[in-house]
Chains A and B, each alone.
Chain A
Amino acid sequence: MDSTLTAAQAAARATVADEPRGRIRFRDFAAIALQLGLVLLLLRQFQIESPAFRLLAMLAFAGFAVHAFLPLPARLPFFSALSLISIPLTLGLVNGVWLIGIGLVLIAACHLPYSFRVRGAILLGLGALLIGQRASLLPTPWSEAIWPILGAMFMFRLIAYFYDLRHDKAPVTLAQSTSYFFMLPNACFPLLPVIDFKTYRRSHYSTDAHRTYQKGVDWIVRGIVHLLLYRYIYYYGTLAPSEVTGPAEFLQYVVSNFLLYLRVSGLFHLVVGMVHLFGFDLPETHKRYLLAASFTDFWRRINIYWKDFMQKIFYFPAVFALKRLGTNKAIIIATLYVFLLTWLLHSYQWFWLRGSWLLAWHDMLFWAVLGLLVVANSLYEIKHGRNRSLGKAKKTWQSTALTIAKTYATFWFICILWSFWTSESITDWLALWPALKGPYTSEALFFPLLSLLVIVLGTVDLPGIGAVTAPANGLRPWLRDRAITVAWALGLVLISIEGVHTSVSAEFATLMHSMRSAHLSRLDNAKLERGYYEGLLSVDRFNSQLWEVYSKKPANWLDVENAGIRRFTGGFGQTDLIPSFVSTTKYGTVTINRWGMRDQDYPQERPAETLRAAVLGPSTVMGWGVGDGMTFEALLEERLNREPVSKAFKHVELLNFGVPGYQPPTQLVSLDKALDFQPNAIIFVATGREIRRSASYLAEVVHKSLPIPYPELAAIVKQSGAVAGMDETEALKLLLPYGPEILRKVYGRVANTSAQRGIRAILLFLPQVREGSWQEETPETLRIASEVGLEVINLADVYAGHDVDTLRLAEWDDHPNELGHRLVADALYRRLQADPAILFGRAAGGAGN
């Protein structure tokens, strides 16, 4: 890395501004305000982050307009008050007051009139208490929603604060403390840069106010650009491991995975940029980290605040404690110590955000490898030094080419290492590599050439966006940099206008439409579905947005989940419901009858003159999150008996064979079980993405070497080349092309088995209670069902006209709530009323006949 800083620039830094400290001319203020107006438009047009954030942005920008003209001594208290107001505004009054109260107790503990050690012990005690509460070991009078934000505010900043209280003799004011912890944009961001308290205090109007504000605007715009790039990659670039089938996909996978970090760098720019508007001339959080030319360089450029925090609190004290061993040894040990702590603190951070400890092997390996690489690099630098320059670095073609080569190699190495870190398991990551044996098409050159282009452009001298030159450097560079910021903002606003992007092309319009909305990616939606069906979601990586959704999930969400409603069977279905199980949840009682059905008790033999239908399906059918009697199956049964739609039978019994986690192939196990109950009808419930889920389940079965009791499914597995014990991702790659065929065999078995026994077989399609791409496979699913002879009842529009949020249990749990079940029961009733024969047979007639 060449460090370039001209004497002119250095002199400019030291230049005392013409304006008195903190003052800004009205003309300059108007220019900043106009740019902030553009930023607000950008935030709105692209729905940047949450509605809560956009509200806080408005509060911050309005606050800036007042703050900039207040007397200097009043500004910090004003910012502090604004920050405090933002908390109840975001979290609600009760949660906000609790959070502020807990925070004030922690801050007060730092200032108790006791020795440093005693105060430290008190803080540790309070921390232990909060840990116990976060882990749900102790009761809390406040909502779980405050934990991620409380954690983000105090988990690291309290350490930095306490450290500086001990060593920095300058007195601390209340406004400094409260604004530092409750900092305005923090209320809606669980991830925030670890701002150093000493730097925070010292940076307050440490330089020209206009320049500080302008830097803030520049960084906010830069942050938005990062977030939009992230959004593009998140929506269109990311691949599932099972989709990595050749070298082109492998390269796309590793690059996209690393570039998802743009979200963090974007948010950090946004947050720190916003803080600049209140006079804090804070340093950069990231410095062109894609252009790191070595591992130490990478560590210095990415998340600089973290590096500085670790250096100050742990690295320097460790080196000083160890320096009697010699400088090199001290540096090696202290560096490894820092990486070990980074791993542990990552888990600590996860605990505050999610309430559980994240201790994964590949996490530890990632930090160990990165630590060793940085140590090796450091030793090389100790021995050979590194290029530094006071002025503009003297570049030759050779030195530029060498820098490009080193940067390119570092970039790809980091991409590979990052893919290891962010994979769900080591086996998942290892399963990616056979893809490199695939065909090397021209598509495989795309990412290598694109990354080379970016690195070449970044290495040669080009003006960067938002490089905040000082006005003292000359008016032209200053105006040029402002013009770049405004051009980015204006350009983005312009293309976000419907009339503009639709006039370019249909494809561009579709792209812009997608880019303008914040939603989960195709892959995260699939993961959410997996959690929905299996309850086994592993959301333990920061490069998925799912963790943000799940950070709001209470640790004891649905007590029944922890009470063990299911048992392992060891067969193809793997689990079933525990017979005679009863549990009380916050949504009511969950009762499993003696046959293992979430239903009232029934005799095994069908009573005379009774229509008995077995309802097969996943947790939606079982009624996850609603009490007994409130499932759509129970509601429909009750209504069909109360208000019959057919005279063909005196009674109607709907038997609930729903089991959480059951996939289309597993429902065959339920079918086998249901046949013992002599049903007249089978209602096979489908809920979206049936084809992929069928293939995924067989891949799981293959991986676990489970028996496949259905010859037609076993034959497909054999034909695909998947073999027992194979890695699940590998097996899925082989089975995915057979997805439609697998579903056809599943549905075919239901139809044939039913036909042989004179049972009416119905496929009931229910929509998922979420936005997203779950309906992609629906037309093909329904077509397959019809082709094999199943009667189809399609209730895809059953929730139409209702806000999704009113129908699901929670943001992190998309199961239908009571209203959702009622809507399904009512719609199904109306459908049967219109055509009773579909369930009751040709002799059904109407109730009035």
Chain B
Amino acid sequence: MSDELMQKIKNFIMEEFLPGEDPDELTATTPLISGGILDSIATLKLVMFMEEQYGVSFEPHEVDKENLDDLASIVRLLRAKNPSAA
């Protein structure tokens, strides 16, 4: 996982929600919502983090499994909102 943007988001998730866990276990396709790592509160925290960090704004309907269920989807959405995000 060399992508810098993905790494930053991964770091946030590891620090906030998975302290003490092995970072290698969290891959680009690890299910976050369906895997029970991101519940509603954690999802909102992640969204707030991305809004602050990358100057983007999310719509409520975007906060779902399709967009946020794994790191790859999250990065895809973020890039679509802010192509210069890194």
With the chains together, A167 CA to B26 CA distance in Å? Answer: 30
Q: Are A7 and B64 in contact (CB under 8 A)?
A: no
Interface flag for A283 (CB, 8 Å): yes
A10-B35, A198-B66, A327-B48 in contact; A167/B61 too (CB < 8 A)?
A: yes
Which A residues lie within 8 Å of B65 (CB)?
Answer: 199
A163-B61, A317-B60 in contact; A331/B34 too (CB < 8 A)?
A: no
Q: Are B36 and A385 in contact (CB under 8 A)?
A: no
Interface centre among A1, A7, A382 (most CB of B within 10 A): A7
With the chains together, A312 CA to B63 CA distance in Å? Answer: 8
Q: Are A7 and B27 in contact (CB under 8 A)?
A: yes
With the chains together, A626 CA to B15 CA distance in Å? Answer: 74
Interface flag for B17 (CB, 8 Å): yes
Instruction: Tell me the chain B residues, 1-36 only, with Cβ under 8 Å from chain A.
Output: 16-19, 21-22, 24-27, 29-31, 34-36
Closest to A317 in B: B60
Interface flag for B82 (CB, 8 Å): no
Interface flag for A673 (CB, 8 Å): no
Q: Are B31 and A10 in contact (CB under 8 A)?
A: yes
Q: Are A390 and B36 in contact (CB under 8 A)?
A: no
With the chains together, A317 CA to B64 CA distance in Å? Answer: 12
Instruction: Tell me the chain B residues, 65-83 only, with Cβ under 8 Å from chain A.
Output: 65-66
Which A residues lie within 8 Å of B59 (CB)?
Answer: 167, 320
With the chains together, A300 CA to B30 CA distance in Å? Answer: 20
Q: Nearest Cβ in chain A — how far from B6, in angstroms?
A: 16
Which B residues lie within 8 Å of A10 (CB)?
Answer: 27, 29-31, 35
Interface flag for A256 (CB, 8 Å): no
Which A residues lie within 8 Å of B26 (CB)?
Answer: 390
With the chains together, A198 CA to B67 CA distance in Å? Answer: 12
Q: Mark A299-323, 1 if CB is under 8 A from B, else 0.
A: 0100000000001100111011001
With the chains together, A765 CA to B61 CA distance in Å? Answer: 65
Which B residues lie within 8 Å of A14 (CB)?
Answer: 29
Interface flag for A5 (CB, 8 Å): yes
Q: Nearest Cβ in chain B — how far from A377, in angstroms?
A: 10
A3-B37, A167-B61 in contact; A388/B45 too (CB < 8 A)?
A: no
Q: Are B41 and A389 in contact (CB under 8 A)?
A: no
Closest to A168 in B: B61
Which A residues lie within 8 Å of B17 (CB)?
Answer: 385, 388
Which A residues lie within 8 Å of B27 (CB)?
Answer: 7, 10-11
Q: Are A391 and B22 in contact (CB under 8 A)?
A: yes
With the chains together, A7 CA to B16 CA distance in Å? Answer: 20
With the chains together, A312 CA to B22 CA distance in Å? Answer: 31
Interface flag for A13 (CB, 8 Å): yes
Q: Are B31 and A315 in contact (CB under 8 A)?
A: no
Interface flag for A202 (CB, 8 Å): yes
With the chains together, A392 CA to B66 CA distance in Å? Answer: 25
Q: Are B40 and A390 in contact (CB under 8 A)?
A: no
Q: Are B64 and A312 in contact (CB under 8 A)?
A: yes
Q: Are A390 and B30 in contact (CB under 8 A)?
A: yes
Q: Are B35 and A202 in contact (CB under 8 A)?
A: no
Q: Are B21 and A315 in contact (CB under 8 A)?
A: no
Q: Nearest Cβ in chain A — how far from B28, in angstroms?
A: 10
Q: Are A320 and B29 in contact (CB under 8 A)?
A: no
Which B residues lie within 8 Å of A296 (CB)?
Answer: 39
Which A residues lie within 8 Å of B63 (CB)?
Answer: 316
Interface flag for B44 (CB, 8 Å): yes
Q: Mark A349-389, 1 if CB is under 8 A from B, else 0.
A: 00000000000000000000000000000100110010011
Q: Are A5 and B35 in contact (CB under 8 A)?
A: yes
Which A residues lie within 8 Å of B41 (CB)?
Answer: 331, 378, 381-382
With the chains together, A315 CA to B18 CA distance in Å? Answer: 25
Which B residues lie within 8 Å of A385 (CB)?
Answer: 16-17, 19
Which A residues lie within 8 Å of B22 (CB)?
Answer: 390-391
Closest to B14 in A: A390
- Which residues of B line the A interface, CB within 8 A? 16-19, 21-22, 24-27, 29-31, 34-37, 39-41, 44-45, 48, 58-61, 63-66
- Which residues of A line the B interface, CB within 8 A? 1, 3, 5-7, 10-11, 13-14, 163, 166-167, 198-199, 202, 283, 296, 300, 311-312, 315-317, 319-320, 323, 327, 331, 378, 381-382, 385, 388-391
Can you list 11 residue pairs at the A/B interface with Cβ under 8 Å? A10-B35, A163-B61, A316-B40, A316-B44, A316-B60, A323-B48, A378-B41, A382-B41, A388-B18, A390-B18, A391-B21
